[in-house]
């Protein structure tokens, strides 16, 4: 079955929306899998011809995907910062345990 450019654009936008939703849920494994699917769909889209009539729709999808991508990046940075705090707290706890063990002896 042949998919139209508009169907491919809708598919890209749906994948981007799903990536954003998974990122908001901190489901980074799913984000990575969806990103691979997105990449494949984008490559298929741009391997074919896009007519002048479809350029406005393509432009709008690119704009929206860019917005979504920026939101996913912001969520990723927030998650990474939270993990850094968790790791710092873990290291501090380990140092406290090591200090207590060394001095209890």
| pLDDT tens digit sequence for 29-44 | 999 999 999 999 999 9
CATH code, 56:
1.20.58
Token pair, residue 19, equals 């990536």
Task: Summarize the confidence of residues 3-13 as an average pLDDT.
Answer: 94
pLDDT in tens, 59-103: 999 999 999 999 999 999 999 998 887 787 788 888 878 787 888
Residue 72 contacts residue 20 (beta carbons within 8 Å)? yes
Q: What is the pTM of this model?
A: 0.78
Q: How would residue 105 be classed by pLDDT, with cut points 50, 70 and 90? A: low
Number of domains in the chain: 1
pLDDT score of 57: 95
* Range(s) of the domain holding residue 15: 5-77
Task: Name which of 85, 64, 69, 83 is nearest 26 in CA terms.
Answer: 83
Query: Do the domain assignments include residue 96?
Result: no
Query: Do the domain assignments include residue 19?
Result: yes
pLDDT score of 67: 97
Query: Do the domain assignments include residue 102?
Result: no
End-to-end CA distance of the chain: 74
Please say if the pLDDT value at position 1 is more than 70: no
Query: Do the domain assignments include residue 85?
Result: no
Query: Do the domain assignments include residue 58?
Result: yes
Query: Do the domain assignments include residue 42?
Result: yes
Distance from C-alpha of 9 to C-alpha of 42, rounded to nearest angstrom = 9
Task: Summarize the confidence of residues 50-61 as an average pLDDT.
Answer: 94
Query: Do the domain assignments include residue 97?
Result: no
Query: Do the domain assignments include residue 89?
Result: no
């Amino acid at each position: 079955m042949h998919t139209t450019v508009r169907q491919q654009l809708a598919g890209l936008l749906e994948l981007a929306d799903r990536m954003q939703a998974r990122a908001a849920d901190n489901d980074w494994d799913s984000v990575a899998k969806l990103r691979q699917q997105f990449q494949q769909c984008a490559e298929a889209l741009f391997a074919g011809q896009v007519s002048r009539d479809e350029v406005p729709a393509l432009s709008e999808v690119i704009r929206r995907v860019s917005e979504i991508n920026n939101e996913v990046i912001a969520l990723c940075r927030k998650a990474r910062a939270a993990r850094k705090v968790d790791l710092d707290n873990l290291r501090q706890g380990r140092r406290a345990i090591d200090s207590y063990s060394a001095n209890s002896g």
